[in-house]
């Protein structure tokens, strides 16, 4: 297709277990979404190519017959970057793999999950996606900006006086809002000489970074912890 547009509140469910797909589809329908279901990995890309309008969101199972979810995520992100993606995974151990491959998924949900959680995550991801693609307007709310040349972070124009390591951490997370970074991934960006440091060192730098941001925005929490995984930059719910 030469041109494609996004359909309103349309969700493609890529899941090879019919019972799970039907349950999720019922909850999405009841919440105002229009769900479609594809159960075989090889059918996903042809289905998307045939659409005059793309779904806004793809709920993508990791383990599929045919083309696997990791490959599909990479391909969808490259070809249709505006389509949001939530990965579904059956094992918690796979979370690190999802993060490490930098696939570009907007979120992930571990099985077994509540259909209500899926609906809530879908709404949150779509809010972030729409906010990212909305036309820029005159800033009315608090803003955080980076001065790469001066290695400065400015919160509403106030210099946060970050160290080089703190600036690097903030820049990496701000580049991918909503994405969860493991401590190991953040360590790779902290020190260019690849020195060996403990994960507690990351926690210490994050704590100092949060404190400096809180001095300007005491009621905002934009660097958030994800228990057992790592940290993410999340400017809004």
Q: From residue 66, how far is each of 13, 55, 69, 77 by CA, in Å? A: 16, 21, 9, 19
Q: Give the per-residue pLDDT at 111.
A: 83
**Is residue 138 over pLDDT 60?**
no
* Between 94 and 69, residue with greater pLDDT: 69
Q: What is the mean pLDDT of residues 33-57?
A: 94
- Rounded Cα–Cα distance for residues 125 and 57 (Å): 8
Checking if the pLDDT of 123 tops 60, the result is: yes
- Domains observed in the chain: 7-133 (3.40.50.2300), 144-233 (1.10.10.10)
Helix H or strand E segment including 146: strand 144-147
Quick one: pLDDT band at residue 108, thresholds 50, 70, 90? confident
The pLDDT score that the predictor gives to residue 89 is 82
With tokens 């077994």, the residue in question is 112
d(CA 231, CA 237): 15
Supply the pLDDT for residue 74.
85
**What local confidence, expressed as pLDDT, does residue 15 receive?**
95
The span from the first CA to the last CA of the chain, in angstroms, equals 34
Average confidence (pLDDT) over 17-28: 94
Task: Among 39-48, 91-100, 183-192, 220-229, name the one with the lowest average pLDDT.
Answer: 91-100
pLDDT at 47 over 60: yes
If one compares 52 and 26, the residue with the highest pLDDT of the two is 26
Confidence of residue 119 (pLDDT cuts 50, 70, 90): very high
The mean predicted confidence, pLDDT, of the chain is 82
What pTM does this model have? 0.55
Does pLDDT of 97 surpass 70? no
pLDDT at 98: 53
Residue 42 has pLDDT above 70, yes or no: yes
Sign (positive or negative) of CA dihedral 131, 133, 136, 142: positive
Confidence check: pLDDT of 143 > 60? yes
Is 89 within 8 Å of 98 (Cβ atoms)? yes
Range among 19-33, 77-91, 172-186 rated most confident: 19-33
* Higher pLDDT pick, 68 / 5: 68
Residue 95 pLDDT > 60: no
- 38: left (phi > 0), else alpha (psi -120 to 50), else beta? beta
DSSP state string for 180-203: -EEHHHHHHHH-TT-----HHHHH
Distance between CA atoms of residues 164 and 152, nearest Å? 9
Write out the H or E segment, with its range, that includes residue 46: helix 44-50
Arithmetic mean of pLDDT, 63-80: 90
């Amino acid at each position: 297709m030469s041109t494609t547009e996004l359909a309103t509140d349309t969700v493609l469910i890529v899941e090879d277990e019919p019972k799970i797909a039907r349950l999720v589809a019922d909850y999405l329908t009841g919440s105002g979404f229009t769900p479609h279901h594809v159960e075989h990995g090889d059918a996903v890309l042809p289905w998307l190519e045939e659409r005059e309008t793309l779904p806004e969101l793809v709920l993508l199972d990791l383990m599929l017959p045919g083309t696997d979810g990791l490959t599909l995520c990479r391909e969808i992100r490259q070809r249709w970057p505006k389509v949001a993606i939530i990965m579904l995974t059956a094992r918690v151990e796979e979370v690190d793999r999802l993060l490490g491959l930098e696939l570009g998924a907007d979120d992930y949900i571990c099985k077994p999950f509540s259909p209500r959680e899926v609906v809530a995550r879908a709404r949150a991801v779509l809010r972030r996606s729409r906010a990212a693609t909305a036309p820029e307007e005159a800033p009315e709310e608090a803003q955080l900006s980076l001065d790469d040349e001066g290695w400065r972070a400015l919160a509403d124009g106030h210099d946060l006086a970050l160290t080089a390591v703190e600036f690097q951490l903030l820049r990496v997370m701000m580049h991918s809002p909503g994405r969860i970074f493991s401590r190991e991934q953040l360590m790779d960006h902290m020190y260019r000489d690849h020195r060996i440091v403990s994960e507690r060192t990351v926690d210490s730098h994050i704590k100092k970074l949060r404190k400096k941001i809180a001095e300007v925005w005491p009621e905002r929490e934009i660097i958030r912890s994800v228990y057992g995984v790592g940290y993410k930059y999340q400017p809004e719910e």
